[in-house]
Each structure stands twice: as structure tokens, then as C-alpha cells.
Structure 1
Amino acid sequence: MKRRQFMAAAAGLPLALAASRVHSQAQDELTIVYPSPGGLGYFALYAAIGEGYFAEEKLKIQPRSVNGSAQAIQALLAGQAQLAHPGPGPLMAARERGQDLVYVYNYFTRSQFNLVVPEASPFQKPTDLKGKVIGVGTADGAEVAFVRSIFDADGMKEGQDYKFITVGEGGMAVAGFMQKAIDAYASDTAGAATLTLRGVKLRSLTPPPFQSFFGNGYVVTRKYLDENRNLLERFGRALVRGTKFGIDPANRAATLKHARMGNPQQLENMPFAEALLDVYYKLTSPIDPAKGFGYNHPAAWEMWQQTLVASGDLKKPLPDLTRAYSNDLVTAWNAPR
């Protein structure tokens, strides 16, 4: 190399290195641990990745999947991730053990379980099912306890005012309705999608208070929240944009395509995937749209705590339940662009 060429190259080297440093500093990396690899369930995240919303916020997202909320919390506490996506029960149990975790973004705003009947049925409320038969997927599934609590609230007792029979998951419930073996069904997310796909239009009899038994959301340590508010504001802002993109019917094909990043197998049966996506739209829509996406309802947290104490999952109420969640960033996440 000639001296002049060498000097020119050497002169450009600091600029190139500086540019490299600027580029590396431009994107903050966030690892998020999920309790399952459900791509459609996290459609908002993958839409925000696919549409470049996180990139615009100078964020690089690394989703990881583990087996359940407890493992997600363990990974967060071990420093293997900056955010986790557990349910409120495991979060409160962790706080009872002295782990200062904060639920910052309420993602699954509604219960993933429902008491449903065919749309053509005459039943309009749970008490209409007195003397009737309720189908369940498994005898000891979480949906059974959920539906039992609905009847308990109306003073109805199993075996006396109604009875459960095990009919199996989704597709078996279709047969149960067709054969008039069941009058209602305790449905989970996939079960509702299967029934819809099979042509059974559903009506939910789940009372509004029970719809507030929200599901999994985004959780951080309090230390991380205190030290990274700007970063979390950017994260939530992109996630809200991803949610709004995903629920827009005009973007349905793109939303399904983006969700393949999280779980390609889930989209092998496209009719089922479409039906499942419709269910997730309902599960992630705000209970009160005026509050915006991500909002934590204090009354819903109180309901969860009462239920967990009654079931023995918590020994007693937490000293300060409001420390388990935060709405500090919700306004910024939902602000007009």
C-alpha cells in the first residue's frame, strides 16, 4: 500500500470505529422471558418487531421461552432477562418470598377462561344454568375452579344446582353441544377458538367482575424499573403500536406472518390460527379503553389477592399490594404520536 493510501485509511479508521460505537450504542437489547412459545398470543410483540416499531425506539428484542411462569421469574431474578411475562399469582407469590418484582404492563387483560354457551341457546346468565350440565376439558383443570367460583358467587353449589362432566378439549365440546349432552362449557383460549372454527358461535356468560381476572403481563425488578424508565417507556410505546397494528383488520395477514417468528407450528393450520387470533384480540383489549393499553386495575388486583389467600396460594394479604404493580408509564405508552 502506498504511503498516501495508508494515511488516508488510517485517518478514516477512527471515524469508522466511532460510527461502529454509535451504532452499537444506538440499540438497547432487551431479553424477555415468556412462559410458553405462543407466537399468536404475543402477536403485539411480533408485530412491533416485524413492523420496525422497536427498531424506531432503538431497541433490539430477544424473546425466550421457558416452561411456565415460575421459570420465567427465576430467569428474571437470575439476571438472564430484563423482562418476564408471568401471571399475577406467581408474581404475588414471589413478592411474598421477598422478591421485589413489579407488574408494569397488563397484557392479557381478561381471563383466559370463560363460561360459554352456544349463541342460539336461551341462557343469558349463570343462574339460568341451574339444574344444567357444564362440560369441562379435564376434571381438575384450572377452568373448572374458575367456573365453580362463578357459580359460588351466585350461591349455586356443584352437585346440587349444576354438575360438571368431562367431555375433553375443544373438538369434543362441539360433539357435547350437538348431542345435547352439555348445556354450557368451561372454555380456555384454545377451546374457544376450536369451537368457533367448528361453526359454534359462542356467547360468554362470564360476569364482568370475573372477566377482570387478568392473565400474564410484563414484569421487571423494581431496581430495573427505577434505573431504566426511559427504556421501558420506549418498550411499551412500541408494544402499544404493535397491538394497534395487530388488531386492525387491514393488517391481519401481516400480523399472522409476523407471529410465525414466535411459533411457526402454531400457524400450520391457518383456519385454526385465524380463530385463535380472534380470541387473543379479545383477551388483550383494554377493560376500560379510556385507561389505555397496559393499565393495571387496582380492583382486579384486590380480587386476585383475595382469591389466592382463600385458596392458600398466599399465606396472607401482601403488606402493600400496590407495590406489586405500576401504572406510572401507561400515559406515556398511549400518548398520541
Structure 2
Amino acid sequence: MITRRTLMAFTASAAMFLSGHAMSQEKKELVIAYPSSMGLGYFALYNAIGEGYFEEENITIRPESLNGSAQVIQALLAGQAQLGHPGPGPLLNARGRGEDLVYIYNYFARSQFNLVTTEDSPFQTPADLKGKVIGVGTSDGAEVAFVRSIFDAAGMKEGSDYTFITVGEGGMAVAGFANKSIDAYAADTAGTATLRLRGVKLRNLTPPDFKAYFGNGYVTTRAFLDDNKDVLEGFGRALVRGVKFGIDPANREATLQHAQMGNPQQLEDKEFASALLDIYFDLTTPLDPTKGYGYQNPVAWQQWQSTLVAAGDLKQPLDNLEQAYTNEFIEKWNAPR
């Protein structure tokens, strides 16, 4: 016979079970700090949101746009975000100060800067530009340091072997090539898209080794990584699905629409947006596709560290560079579904 006391105990036990089950099913919110509001650049994230991939992983995403990688690092250390999207330089500097931050996903797997010239020019290598004029967007932009390092590797010095001239962003570079005031250009992502959209056919003179200077990627604290491996596994799995959805030509329009979540103004010029999207597809493609999306190349990390030390941006090599990144999730993120 079921007594009233037995029934009450059963009911209480069931309530506790259901309550615990509901708590285990609560969505995990991830606040992600980005250094800009570049919707198209983060197309994988917005595809994963728009197509419901994060929903399937029981994750809610809240992107926050900040002003540069330094602020992203600060947000992570202050606990205001669980993930961030800084560049490798700021991350290594933070680790040099004793902060235990970890790169978990190499998103922009290729350099975001390139040394380019016109396709009909006689220049085939950086060394061919000896005595020539190189256009740059701004005198102190990151692309200037990047291209200077290319010439340094070729044994060429600014002033004696080549000259930088500030011509402004993409559109001005078009005029620079047209009136022969520049022989090559230090192009960032938007600059390359503008040149191509204006009908300028380009030849990329960036040596292969420099293409491995990857850009921004996803970073978290060691503490969050250790305590939330299942969440990070789901996050990366959804992100990889977002990349693959985007590069499928059948999903191009949907990808452009999803990207408006991050920056609606960027999509006002559809032709330019489409040209820019192609470049981001290239930037997010692994240098070695067999390694999978998000893979961290130890050699590329060594290159970054050596370059930063040589430039004085990093005081000295880190004692534990291998602790700055991890590939532990790569296999699960890229596993066939």
C-alpha cells in the first residue's frame, strides 16, 4: 500500500531530480570580447548563431566589441568575458607579464597583411623591388612593420633599398598604381578587397614563410579552460560548422545575411561585402587543411615570438611558449558529423 508519507517522499524526490536535470540543461552563456565590430570577419560565429549550431550545443553567445586586442586581454583577465579574440602579439606580452592566457583556436590562420603589386608589373619577388616605392595606408600601421620584416629578410633596408610612402587606404592605392607613384602596396584585408573590386589584378609577393604569421584567434584563461572543457568543445564544434557552412557557395547569401548581426553597415555595399568575404574565406583556411580548423602550428608560434623579440615588442623569449596555446580540442572540433 502506498501511504501518504511514501507518496510525499516520492514527490519530493522526483522534484529534486527534475530540478537537477533542468539545471544540467541550462544554457551556458559565453561572452566573447572582440577587438572590433567586424561582422564579415567573424562570419563563422554569426553563421553558427544564425543556423542554430550553438543552440544545439546548449550555448548562448554574447559578442562584445571593444577597441583593440589590449582591451580584449583586459576583459578576459577581469572576468568580464570567457573568450576573447586578440592577436598573438598581445597574448605573448600578457604571458610575459605572468598572465596565464591560452590560445585555443587559430582563427585567422594566414597573415592578414600582404605585399602586393599589379599582375602586369615585372616584379616577381620582394628583392625585385630594390630602389622602388612601397605604398602604405598609414605611416605607423601594423602592415608597415609586417612588410618591413619581409624586406629585412631579403637583406633590404628602408631608405637605402626602398621607400615607404603613405597613400591612404585601398581606394587611394588604386590611384597610386594608376599614376605610377607606387610600385607595390602593403595591403591589409580591406585594402586587398578594394583593389580587386576596382579591377586591379594583383600579384602577391609575400614569401610563403610570412603567410604563416597567423592573426587573431580565440583565447581564454587557463582556469576557464580547465573547468569548462565540455563547453569549449561544443563552442569549437559549432564554430567549425559555421566556417564550413560559409564556404559552401550555396550558402553565400545566408552567410552575408548572418554577418549583419555583427556589423550591418558593412553589408550596405553588397559588392564590396562579397569581395571582402572571399578574402576572409582565404584567411580562415588552414595552411595545412589536413590538420583541421583551429590548429596551432608550433613553428608559427616560434616565428611570432622570434619576430617580436627582434623588434623589441617582447623583452625576451618565454620560458614556456608551448603553454601559450593548445591543440587538445582540434580532433573533436573537426570530427565528421
TM-score range, shorter chain: over 0.9
1:61-115 Cα distance to aligned partner (Å, 9 max, x none): 1111111111111111111111111111111111111110000000011111110
The one-letter code of the counterpart of 2:323 is R
Corresponding residue for 1:155? Answer: 155
The answer to whether structure 1 residue 269 and structure 2 residue 269 are counterparts is: yes
Superposition map of 1:248-267 within 5 A: 248-267=248-267
Alignment-derived partner of residue 280 in structure 1: 280
Q: Distance in 1 between matches of 2:190 and 2:131?
A: 27
Contact 2:115 2:187 (C-alpha < 8 Å) held by counterparts: yes
Structure 2: gaps of 5 or more residues: 1-10
Residue in structure 1 matched with residue 37 of structure 2 by the alignment: 37
Residue aligning to 2:90:
90
The equivalent residue for 1:135 is 135
- Matched residues in 1 for 2:21 and 2:60: separation? 16
Instruction: Tell which deviates more after alignment, 322-331 or 142-151.
Output: 142-151
Task: Give 1:20 shift.
Answer: 9.7
Structure 1 gaps, min length 5: 1-9
Partner of 1:229 in structure 2? Answer: 229
SS in 2 for 1:122: coil
Secondary structure (helix, strand or coil) at the match of 1:256 reads helix
Asked if the contact 2:237/2:334 (under 8 Å) is kept, the reply is yes
SS in 2 for 1:38: coil
Q: TM-score, normalization: structure 1?
A: 0.92
Counterpart CA distance in 2 for 1:301 and 1:86 is 15
Deviation beyond 4 Å, 4+ runs, structure 1: 17-20
TM-superposed CA distance for 1:160, in Å, is 2.1
Q: How does 1:1-337 map to 2 (within 5 A)?
A: 18=19, 21=22, 25-337=25-337
Q: Which amino acid aligns with 1:182?
A: I
d(CA) in 2 for partners of 1:104 and 1:207?
A: 26
Supply the distance in 1 between the matched residues of 2:113 and 2:139 (Cα, whole angstroms): 15
Residue 297 of structure 1: how far off its partner (Å): 0.7
Question: What SS is found at the alignment partner of 1:160?
Answer: coil
Deviations 1:159-195 (A, max 9, x none): 2222111211110100111111111100011111111
Could you give the per-residue CA deviations for residues 177-234 of structure 1, whole angstroms, max 9, x where no partner exists?
1111111100011111111111112221101111111111000111111111111111
For the residue of structure 2 that corresponds to 1:310, the secondary structure is: helix
Letter of the structure 1 residue corresponding to residue 322 of structure 2: T
Q: Which amino acid aligns with 2:25?
A: Q
Q: SS of the residue aligned with 1:251?
A: helix
Return the offset for 1:252.
Answer: 0.6
In the alignment, the residues of structure 2 paired with residue 143 and residue 94 of structure 1 have an alpha-carbon distance, to the nearest angstrom, of 22
**Partner SS, residue 25 of structure 2:** helix
* Equivalent position amino acid for 1:295 in 2: Y
Query: 1-side partners of 2:131 and 2:89: how far apart?
Result: 32
> 1:75 is aligned with what amino acid?
A
Deviations along 1:231-280, whole A, 9 cap, x unmatched? 11111011000001111111110000000001111111111111111111
Corresponding residue SS for 1:67: coil
Using the aligned pairs only, state the percent identity: 72
2:263 partner amino acid: N
SS in 1 for 2:30: strand
CA contact (8 A) 2:25 2:58 kept: no
Q: Measure, in 1, the Cα distance between the counterparts of 2:29 and 2:116.
A: 42
**AA matched with 1:234:** G
* Count of residues in correspondence between the two structures: 325
CA pair 73-123 structure 1, distance change in 2 beyond 3 A:
same
| Amino acid of the structure 1 residue aligned with 2:300 | A
| Post-superposition CA distance 1:132-157 (Å, at most 9, x none) | 22111122222111111101101112
Structure-1 residue corresponding to 2:5: none
In 1, Cα distance between equivalents of 2:102 and 2:294: 13
Give the residue type in structure 2 aligned to 1:51: E
- 1:185 aligns to what SS in structure 2? strand
Q: Which amino acid aligns with 1:21?
A: A
| Partner SS, residue 103 of structure 2 | strand
TM-score (norm 2): 0.92
Distance in structure 2 (CA, Å) of the matches to 1:72 and 1:168: 27
Q: What is the Cα deviation at residue 121 of structure 1?
A: 2.2
CA RMSD in angstroms, aligned pairs only: 1.9
Q: Give 1:119 shift.
A: 2.0
Amino acid at match of 1:52: G
